[in-house]
Structure 1
Amino acid sequence: MSITLPELFFRVKENGALVFRVTTETRQNRLDMTPIASLNLRNGDIKPQGQREITEAEHAAIEDWIAARRETLEARHLDDVHRTVDFLNLTAQWVQSKATPEQLEEVTDTLLLTMHDLRSILVRKKADRVMDAARAEKDPS
């Protein structure tokens, strides 16, 4: 059975990744992972590790990984928001049908403040989008 391994491995960390060069051609035919770079997703910095040189092909692969990772994180974030809507609906059902007065006392103020904050931001952002659309309609240039 032959397994084809990638040339690079990305160990995801909080705001980026460590990049390793994967080598299987060692004296003992062991897998070797040499750290070659550290990358920051927020600003796109790619910093070589130690005295390692990153080839153009590796640099291109790292850039491709960064783009794909950003897409993945964006999709996950949007999915989290959709799940939040589901949780809010489930919470409303729980409040209406199952919550005890003690449980409601514990969560009501926090939920009300959180929902007020979210509502304020959503209303402001919606108003901004409506105003931008109205301006674009008046001045299509």
Structure 2
Amino acid sequence: MHEDLIAHLHDLSAGFAALHARRMFGGHGVYREGTMIGLLSDETVYLKTDEQTRPRFEAAGCRPFMYTRRGETVPTSYWTVPEEAMESPQEMRPWLALAWEAALRKGAKKKPAKTRAVKKTVAKKAAAKKKPRA
């Protein structure tokens, strides 16, 4: 279904980075170096945004990917790209860069769950060692 769009996106990302797509929820996730920067749904490309990049997408007339949950329409942080970006790698490159930056910032905010769990366990063990035995 999305194979032609995926091939076109590969062409558009020339000079930016190698991208790959993985099936997910009836669409595809678009990844750079294992980090999701976009998604493909209904033959449309959506790229990752955040509070810093979203105004650029809004100013260009882009729109968010929306889904319905419990009867309510919910916008996501993935937005369409301007039509001209779908025409050339030079036009797409800045939008891909914005998506990459947003994805990296999002990843930097997260702490891996295992790391937090390990730190708690280490702290508990250290506290237990400090308690004097009666």
TM-score (norm: length of structure 1): 0.28
Higher strand proportion: 2
Q: Which of the two has greater helix per residue?
A: 1
Q: State the TM-score, normalizing by the size of structure 2.
A: 0.29
